[in-house]
Structure 1
């Protein structure tokens, strides 16, 4: 495992992005919404440049760090778009702190260099996997917002009247979960039938495959229960979170063990 120097461009850009993410989170209660938004925009741009610089400096690498970094950037991107489309969607500033940590982790632990033999199939497979991570991360975020909105309603809080309606948050949660499930299914099918072309080996029941299938079964059960029984509320969010943890362990967890614990 190669750890880049603190003065490498990707690391410097990631640290700068983290600082602006932190600034945006610190300014969230500012009287004017413009300072935190400008800080968040600067952080988003620097984060994107850090991801791009990591590819330009020493070739395409991938591992648990870049997976977390790109996923968090996608979450910030989608949430920012939603925020402008849905005016009543409240800012969720803890996302900025998560993105700050992920940006630095992605630059400090760039992962393994992809070989020249890695063809377009591997690029498509990784793109599907990261998009899948991003969609399920958005489902988890909306599930958390749904629980918060439900709590505000139970407490008759004035904030419940200003935030996005509970049913809208619930629909968004399951739409992201369904889209993530479709991409997860496509990713697993690609690994099953094109394992030789992707990784030079056929499908094997390693930790990654086991956790991926367990996550798929969890999400399938969640969506089936939603369709057949109208599953909702805390129980649905709990199952969603369990599936997300299993999916996180599938790739990020296994690569963390290989790259950091075993240092290979």
Structure 2
């Protein structure tokens, strides 16, 4: 289903948000830091308005692209807060490009209507899941920056560019821990209260989404345990983080992509 559910208002907000994200990404060399932050903030506001318009006004559609769009919005929100504390963060160009792509993707693939049997607890379940996606996405961005910082140190480049390595490492695994808590809450709600969340006949079952999500939970649990007990850091810890993030992405986004785009089905 492509653009079938997009209202004119939602479509206009999405296009404006994508253009506002794209402008600082395309004009990276010509915008000051303050101007770039202002553009990203405006794009983030329009992005949130587009999401709210699509999710709060019935009929409500949700799918893999909406989940990615909400994840990008959460990552942008975290970046906006962090950039006030750490002005030397250098990710706004990449995040702007990702934000523009995510907004347009959600416009093209709006997903399927939520089940008519769903209860008022479903938005809470989805919010926990998307928030965990956003926190792990933020952790991945920080891990990438951490790898770049390590490479600069090995190449004897300017050690004062960007955030210090230890600060990046600390932030990375704080986001992992917070994402793990929310992922645990999301899976717990699905397992213990499946009928309450989704309605009768939608209890927990072992499909592709569930298997990949549980595998990602186990991977993140191993990562946090390895850091706490054995002091894992550097390339090993980053590799485990990337593995868990890929498994998590395959859990909902991957399974819904296959259903909605490759198979053309809503469920």
TM-score range, shorter chain: over 0.9
- Name the CA distance, whole Å, in 2 between partners of 1:38 and 1:122: 34
Q: CA deviation at 1:233?
A: 0.8
Bigger drift between 230-239 and 24-33 goes to 24-33
* CA displacement, residues 182-206 of structure 1 (integer Å, 9 cap, x when unaligned): 1111111111111122233222110
Counting only pairs closer than 5 Å after superposition, residues 45-60 of structure 1 correspond to structure 2 as: 45-55=45-55, 58-60=58-60
Q: CA deviation at 1:6?
A: 7.5
Q: CA deviation at 1:16?
A: 1.8
- Name the CA distance, whole Å, in 1 between partners of 2:15 and 2:239: 33
* CA displacement, residues 57-77 of structure 1 (integer Å, 9 cap, x when unaligned): 543221111101111011011
- Name the CA distance, whole Å, in 1 between partners of 2:75 and 2:5: 27
Q: CA deviation at 1:102?
A: 0.5
Q: CA deviation at 1:122?
A: 1.1
- Name the CA distance, whole Å, in 2 between partners of 1:251 and 1:7: 25
Indicate the residue corresponding to 1:176 in structure 2. 175
Indicate the residue corresponding to 1:146 in structure 2. 146
Residues 1:115 and 1:7: Cα distance change in structure 2 (over 3 Å): closer
RMSD value over aligned CA atoms? 1.8
Number of aligned residue pairs: 263
Bigger drift between 228-237 and 19-28 goes to 19-28
SS state at 2:121 partner: helix
Indicate the residue corresponding to 1:90 in structure 2. 90
Q: CA deviation at 1:53?
A: 2.0
Indicate the residue corresponding to 1:136 in structure 2. 136
* CA displacement, residues 216-252 of structure 1 (integer Å, 9 cap, x when unaligned): 1111111111111111111111110110010001001
Indicate the residue corresponding to 1:215 in structure 2. 216
Residues 1:34 and 1:246: Cα distance change in structure 2 (over 3 Å): same
Q: CA deviation at 1:120?
A: 2.1
Indicate the residue corresponding to 1:29 in structure 2. 29
SS state at 2:148 partner: helix
Counting only pairs closer than 5 Å after superposition, residues 203-242 of structure 1 correspond to structure 2 as: 203-242=204-243
* CA displacement, residues 93-139 of structure 1 (integer Å, 9 cap, x when unaligned): 11111111111111221212224432222111111101110110011
* CA displacement, residues 127-153 of structure 1 (integer Å, 9 cap, x when unaligned): 110111011001101100111111111
SS state at 1:162 partner: coil
Residues 1:33 and 1:120: Cα distance change in structure 2 (over 3 Å): same
Unaligned runs of 5+ in 1: none
- Name the CA distance, whole Å, in 1 between partners of 2:244 and 2:56: 34
- Name the CA distance, whole Å, in 2 between partners of 1:25 and 1:46: 16
TM-score, scaled relative to structure 2: 0.92
Q: CA deviation at 1:89?
A: 2.5
